[in-house]
Amino acid sequence: MAHLLKKEKDYRYIEVGEGTPIIVLHGLMGGLSNFDAVTDFFGSNGYKVIIPELPIYSMSLIKTNVKSFANYLRDFIEFKELDNVILLGNSLGGHIGLYHTKLYPDKVKGLVITGSSGLYESAMGSGYTKRSDYEVIKKKAQDVFYDPEVATKEIVDEVYETVNDRNKLVKTLAIAKSAIRHNMAKDLPKMYTPTCIIWGKNDNVTPPEVAEEFHELLPDSDLFWIDKCGHAAMMEHPIEFNTILNGWLESRNF
């Protein structure tokens, strides 16, 4: 289902459903549509799903970092007058969710991370030296998934356009450096927010041992695996992803 993008103040976002707020945080090259299945399912099952468009390429270069995005999220939550939110983040979005929770733990009721950065960065911003070669970019986009067919031409074209836009490439590299700088290994043991970790067993970007380390370091976390699945579980196995998440939310009375 296509969802309407709302524009209010300095924010652009999708909002679907009524109930407990779930704020979804997209990744570096991830569009809001990556979460269509999540939005449709939870938006019609007692949750208000909100997906803000993160200012990844519109922040000044000096503010293009994980901490600035976490503060942007805080401002957005205040603007929407929300409290006790559940944050759901994929890849860089997971990292932003984690960092926001570290800074403002009283605002976050629960955290869901999938293929999150924050402990290990391998593919963020790397390997774009041959960015003008469409086939190279196509292979990189396909490697994100277990099934390369999930990387549609539309997805590949978007990645190709992003890495060939000099401004966006500079910001991408800045974010990659910031993600490494904002490693969260020392912070996680002090974060008691209930956390659901959903991970693809075949994730090449943030490999399975990253999920295990998150699980080990976060005091109140549950780890779930999805087989034959890469870096974006909510896209590659949407039904399984939603079933796991729904079960976890029910078990936590969220």
Q: What is the pLDDT along the chain (254 residues), one digit of tens a residue?
A: 568 899 999 899 999 999 999 999 998 877 788 899 999 999 999 999 999 999 999 999 999 999 999 999 999 999 999 999 999 999 999 999 999 999 999 999 999 999 999 998 664 545 555 567 899 889 988 999 999 999 999 999 988 988 899 898 889 889 988 988 899 999 999 999 999 999 999 999 999 999 999 999 999 999 999 999 999 999 999 999 999 999 999 999 99
Residue type, 184: M
How far is the C-alpha of 146 from the C-alpha of 154, rounded, in Å?
A: 18
- Asked if 205 contacts 219 with a C-beta cutoff of 8 angstroms, the reply is no
